[in-house]
Amino acid sequence: MKRKMIIFFLALILIFVSYQFYKWTIKEFHVSYIINNYKIEEYYHKELLDTYDFVITKKGKNYTFTIQENLKKKKRIISSIKTYKEKEIECILVTDKNKNNTLHCRINKEQVSLNYLIQTGNEDFKAIQEKIKKVSIDYPSVSETKKEYHNLIVYNKNILENQIFYLWNYKGVYILDQKENRYAKVLDYDLYDNLLSCTVNDKYVLLENTSVNGIKNIYYYDYKKGKWRIAKLKQPISKDSYINGVKDNLIYITDRKLKKQYTLDIQKEKLTEIDEEETKYISYKNNKKIELSKSDFFLKDQFFKDHLSDERIEGDYTYSKIGNRIYRKYKNNTPVLLLELDSIKEWQIIGDEILMLKEETLYSYNDHNGLRKIVEYNELQYNDTGIYKLGEK
């Protein structure tokens, strides 16, 4: 009898361990279910947090949105949906299994963000807010508190806790975060043009390409230690080089003159040629790796992210700028109007953050925090190419 009990408990432990291992290995899944006549399509994929993308449909109207929570890869995480209407606005109040509430709204045939409704001061939305005032909902909010630092005006409270903004100042960088502002000089001369820089996590990386003999020195600002470091290359790469992008903490660099492509591991200060036989070159489109031949790769510059078109793709999402408005579309569903900002002259998508430049002001947007000013810097009016970067702690 005792032996059978031991075997039974061992079997239970094995089943439990196997189930936990199975859950740990799950990278993505898709489930469909119905609540209050709303059809819910739930798509899960693992990022830093559990990420759930939703398409909720009823009578031809759909709502798309994302929830990021550590939910231990649970399925069917929505527990209730309630509908609220006020004239031309219809909203659904979604509650998940952790009892968190999110609100998603449409004006006529178009889904719009809460940021847009608050930004435009929509009176019908205010009436819906009054109806559900006892429900705990995180609405986007921005701060108008600003601080002068050198020749900048900084809105530190609008910078998220994990964010670092870097601004190039021709001899060094301004470092802006939620708590403080710093300046770190690195050069003894002004560097205006052909700025080759990027960020890798919290580090700002600068390729010094002013010498006619090519790039020999790579400077990088170590945010945690608050100082510049220098990596000296054993073999210089030509001045006619550019940065393809950053993937998995590696900087991809292409030398147009020598027809070579490298990865730079700035943490190890190591530059590695991707293929010494020069038969394979790497690019990324929509986060998917592409291997190209030499002839195809050098037909044009291969940037991992398109900064020029009015349509950008980030994973399963397509972002579009139409006039003064920016939309986001999940897969083939109808787009969501996120924000309206006139005179946008440059914009980038970095993860779930949208960076926008209007005259001398840098703005940032995400669904949770809304559209907010980050910094006003006069130089942004005249030299915006590569002058600002976003890093993460």
pLDDT digits (tens, 9 = 90+) for 273-303: 998 888 899 999 877 899 999 999 999 999 9
E strands of 306-367, at which residues? Answer: 311-314, 317-322, 325-330, 336-340, 346-350, 353-358, 361-366
Whether residue 22 is predicted with pLDDT greater than 60 in this model: the reply is no
Residues 6+ apart with CB under 8 A from 297: 254, 261, 281, 283
pLDDT at position 10: 57
Could you tell me the pLDDT band of residue 167, with boundaries at 50, 70 and 90? very high
Poorest-confidence range of 1-5, 130-134, 263-267?
1-5
Calculate the average pLDDT of the chain: 89
Selection from 366, 327, 328, 322 nearest residue 344 by Cα = 322
Neighbour count for residue 368 (Cβ, 10 Å): 14
Q: Has domain 147-392 been given CATH number 2.120.10?
A: yes
Residues of the chain with CATH 2.120.10: 147-392
E strands of 150-226, at which residues? Answer: 152-154, 163-168, 172-176, 181-185, 196-200, 203-207, 215-222
Cα–Cα distance, 223 to 176 (Å, whole number)? 11
Numbers of helices and strands, H then E, in the chain: 4, 32
Helix (H) or strand (E) holding 39: strand 38-46
Q: Are 114 and 371 in contact (CB under 8 A)?
A: no
* pTM of the model as a whole: 0.89
pLDDT at position 19: 46
